[in-house]
Amino acid sequence: MITFPNAKINLGLNIVERRADGYHNLETVFYPIALTDVLEIVPAADGTTSLQCYGRPVDCPVEKNLVMRACRLMQHHYDCVPAVEMHLYKHIPDGAGLGGGSSDAAHVLTMLNQMFKVGADDATLAALAASLGADCPFFVYNRPMLATGIGDVLTPVELDLKGMTLMLVKPPVSVSTKTAYARVVPRPSVSDLRSDVKRPLLQWDGVVKNDFEVSVFAEYPQLGHIKLQLQRGGARYAAMSGSGSAMFGIFDDVKMAEALIGCFDGCDTFVTPL
């Protein structure tokens, strides 16, 4: 079986408070996008579970890779899941705030569930996914969701950006999530994000905000410059996804976005319909 694990962007990201356990409560809207990896899973002929990675380098031992961990999790909980051979082609950049690794892991859960007729429902798979990472459960449902708690409490959001065009810009820097959280100042939300994202896009600026931008832009000024270029290039809305370093702009049409491709030297750029 072959599937295409997709990335996500964050529409707004409010860091609400620091918890007693050291984690942070947040509010954000996860929105799925069409930038994908490629994942193939087949039964293992030799009875040994394996993972081969291609494309973008994956700097992680195989047994610690989220794909392998997701597979081991299913094999642990369900005896009907046998040894499998997995092939992962990485196209989604790592360290970008796009959730590529989390998506790969969640898709392993859903693929194995389907391939071997496990019979687990989405809620059960999402609970398993939560043990792999806070944003993994989102990719089980893979539709617009308001995420609260540490990002693992999900509520559907009626939001449809079809007809718009997304431009992603990933500079050659990776932002440490731990560092980003250490430098952000938590504060209670002053508005309802679920309602804010239903406003016209031109009203999002200054309302649908990513709290990480202040501290991350201070350390990586290039990211702030990219956001400004996207806005000046006609984006109706531009922001950083997650804790970075991917920046995105939402445009009325593909030509406006494609006209900017050559403006970001040394960066990976992707243009895709929403």
Q: Catalytic residue numbers?
A: 8, 135
Q: What one-character DSSP code corresponds to residue 210? A: B
Six token digits for residue 207: 């309302």
d(CA 104, CA 134): 14
Contact by Cβ (8 Å): 156, 143: yes
Burial 131-144 (b: 16+ CB within 10 A, else e): ebbbbbbbbbbbeb
Identify any residues that bridge with 181 across adjacent strands, giving them in sequence order: none
d(CA 13, CA 39): 29
d(CA 225, CA 250): 16
C-alpha angle 172-63-173 in degrees, rounded to nearest 5: 10
Mutual angle of helices 122-130 and 100-115, in 10-degree steps: 140
d(CA 121, CA 73): 16
> Which residues, in sequence order, are CB contacts of 78 under 8 Å at separation 6+?
112, 116, 118, 120
d(CA 231, CA 249): 7
